[in-house]
Amino acid sequence: MKKAAGIFLCLCGFLAAGYAQDAKPPITLDEFMNATDVRIARIAPDGQAVVVWTNSPDWQHNRFRDDLWLWQQKTSGTVPLTQSGYDSQPAWSPDGKYISFLSSRALSDDSGGDDDKDETERVWVIPVAGGEAFPIYTEKLDAHAFAWSADGTKILFSIRQPLTKAQEDARKEDWKDVIRWREQERGDVLLAVSLQAAITENQKTPSPHAAPKRADDEQPLPKMAQVLTKNDRAITEIAPAQGQIAFETGTVSKRMEGPEAYEIFLVNGNGGEAKQLTHNDAVESGLRWSPDGKRLYFNVRAAAGSLEGKYQDVQGRLYAMDPATARVERLGADFRGSLEDYTVADDGSIIVAGLTGTEQQFYKIDGSKAEPLKGEAGTYSGVDAALHSPRMVALHSTINDPTQSFVVDDASQLQQAKAITAFNGIFGERAKPEWTTYRWKADDGTEVEGVLIYPPGKKGDKHLRMVTLIHGGPADADGDRFGADWYDWATLAAANGWLVFRPNYRGSSGYGDKFMLEIEPHLVSRPGRDILEGVDALVRDGIADPDRLAIGGYSYGGYMTNWLITQTTRFKAAVTGAGAVEHAANWGNDDETYDDAWYLSGKPWEKPQLYQSEAALFQFNKVTTPTHLVGGNADIRVSYLEDVLMERALSQLGIPHSFLVFPGEGHSLDKNPWHGYIKVREELKWLDKYVGSDAAPAPKGKFTAEDK
């Protein structure tokens, strides 16, 4: 794709014939799907620079690019830092002179071509003052996590415990290509490499990138690496402090089968046996130390359990631990919503993003209280504080304003934040949809909320054709935040003449633990009633046309879509993806087994009646809705076989349907941007085909031959 002023901009839009010169045309499919996603931003220790990680489609090479960008106060500009397209997860060295990152780029080339990818994801380092990036090791060992040591002299990283050459040869001889399920899994080893040693090694000539031969009894560890500790689990986060290192573990298999794999450990900075600090039914993350190194902070995100008891899907929580005693204190406990991203400022104060309803704002933690910081409407996330400055960097967006990175001089000056990125400028040149919150009463008297997004210029109109788009999770909430991809295409639907209803049903986060817990044990029937009651209210209010209703969703939104077309015939069309139609086999195939069992209050043999009564499959004889179905054939979050099962049922019943399979894609469809493009294109066509269109579709731009 083309670059302009160092920032990706989509310039393929145009004023089409028939539009007045002073009117803005709607966003096109091509423009919408070409959006750049701002993943994270990290601020330098002195607050004078920021590194930004973006993800964007590369149509020509059928992949997504991961790029790093650098903003510096002295130049006030944001420019490319790397160009390979395989670079992510940036981190500043404590002295601000280097940025480390993960990359699967080839060892000997950073040309940005299509053949510069390596199958190994290593830790790389680039000097901020200028110079080439270099790997800290060259062995074929994937780094799972990494961090700078507290003094900046070393880089710590985790890899799977390697086998000696003799062990590898023996395994191949005995087992050939047979997979020994669970038996062959190995935990991680935590390593440290001296930065100076890595610099010296990479300055040698000839290139050090040829893999050295090794003896049969030698493990292929990086030759400069110091082994700090080993663990029988994967090491997924590393947080060094002066003289000690905290780390978080996870499952070796990447199957999230139980929260017991996710615990926090502490090891001496010079290495040794690690001490386990936590023993709970929660998935901890976000390890950070207080400036004095005496407290260790961490969070448990929404639907990841809690430290207060047995596993259950509650809202996000924030904790502080005394590592010496392993005593844990919950912070911000009085906050009604869900606590998400957070950072520790240079003065020791904690700033956290808190979700309440359709807004996510920043709060300052004071014991059990969360004091709101005055910011702009919309969604704040990704906050990161400077190590030696009151400055912070954060991400912010609204439904109509793409996510950008902002530098804040002080947490109290949020409204004076300065934008340092300007991605996706095309959205400012297109007609913007209008939106509002919408509330209704459920059958049990509970107030439920959602978002209505109107076609540009249509707010206040009546009897509109309406598509209900159901968010996944289910622990999430639709609100005032930007989305432009295969999963979040609500504003594109609005641009194509649809009123979009986005309900935050029972089980959504941001509305209190009680609201979130009420999804259990009726995984689809309770949220389903919430959604249908919202649709009915919109019809009664004259906003939605009862004869032109459609429904859709992906992941848990797919679960709900599959269920609701068995409960009503009011929807003229449905678009669904990666959603289960039964729960017993999906419990066995899904990588989040423990979560599935919690939702249905037990395992399949413990609650067989619920597993059947909450499953769409056993009520498919009631389906009449033409249904468009998609799935990635490598999906293990919701088994791809659930998609196949649903298609077979629709086929046997003679229901009009279409099934698109995306080869090699998992749950997130992040391999090939054309898959997401085709998904959304065909979903919009399906809705128009079976519901009808108000008018001729808006002119659409075309990707150029160069782009393709």
Distance CA 532, CA 443 (A): 10
β strands within 151-187, DSSP E: 154-160
Distance CA 520, CA 81 (A): 47
Are 468 and 501 a contacting pair, CB within 8 Å?
Answer: yes
Helix axes 556-564, 525-540, angle to 10 degrees: 70
377 C-beta neighbours (distance < 10 Å), count: 11
Question: Can you give the pTM of this predicted structure?
Answer: 0.93
Residue with tokens 């504080």: 385
Q: Which pLDDT does position 204 carry in this prediction?
A: 84
Share of the chain above pLDDT 90, in %: 87
Write out pLDDT tens, residues 503-536. 999 999 999 999 999 999 999 999 999 999 999 9
Place 206 in a pLDDT band, splitting at 50, 70 and 90.
low
The average pLDDT across 57-84 equals 96
Asked which of 63-72, 109-118, 588-597, 642-651 is least confident by mean pLDDT, the reply is: 109-118
Q: Is 304 exposed, middle or buried (0-12, 13-18, 19+ CB in 10 A)?
A: buried
* Interval 654-676 mean pLDDT: 98
5: closest CA among 73, 78, 56? 78
Rounded CA gap, 664 and 460, in Å?
44
**Lowest mean pLDDT segment, chosen from 16-30, 361-375, 605-619:** 16-30
**First-to-final CA distance of the chain:** 9
Is 90 exceeded by the pLDDT of residue 14?
no
CB atoms near residue 175 (< 10 Å): 12
- What pLDDT does residue 209 have? 52
Residue 639 has pLDDT above 70, yes or no: yes
**What's the pLDDT tens digit per position in 314-354?**
999 999 999 999 999 999 999 999 999 999 999 999 999 99
Mean pLDDT check: name the lowest of 19-23, 197-201, 651-655.
19-23
The CA-based angle 52-55-58, given to 5 degrees, is 135
Asked whether the predicted pLDDT for residue 362 surpasses 80, the reply is yes
pLDDT of residue 693: 84
Residues in Cβ contact with 683 at an 8 Å cutoff, skipping those fewer than 6 apart: 489, 552, 575, 628, 630
Q: Report pLDDT digits (tens) over 374-386.
A: 999 999 999 999 9
Band of residue 21 on the pLDDT scale cut at 50, 70, 90: very low
| E-assigned strand segments in 161-263 | 188-194, 225-231, 234-241, 244-250
Output the DSSP codes for 105-147: E-TT--S--TT-EEEEEEEEEEETTS---EES--SS---SEEE
Q: What is the mean pLDDT of the chain?
A: 92
> pLDDT grade, residue 558 (50/70/90)?
very high
Give CA–CA dist 380/340, Å, rounded: 10
Q: Give the pLDDT mean for 450-470.
A: 97
Q: Is 563 exposed, middle or buried (0-12, 13-18, 19+ CB in 10 A)?
A: buried
For the cut 60, the answer to whether the pLDDT of residue 207 exceeds it is: no
The answer to which of 357-371, 479-493, 530-544, 692-706 has the lowest mean pLDDT is 692-706
Nearest to 336 by CA among 367, 305, 312, 357: 357
Q: Residue 236: is its pLDDT beyond 90? A: yes
* Residue 124 and residue 87 in contact, taking contact as beta carbons nearer than 8 Å: yes
Q: How confident is the model at residue 703 (pLDDT cuts 50, 70, 90)?
A: very low
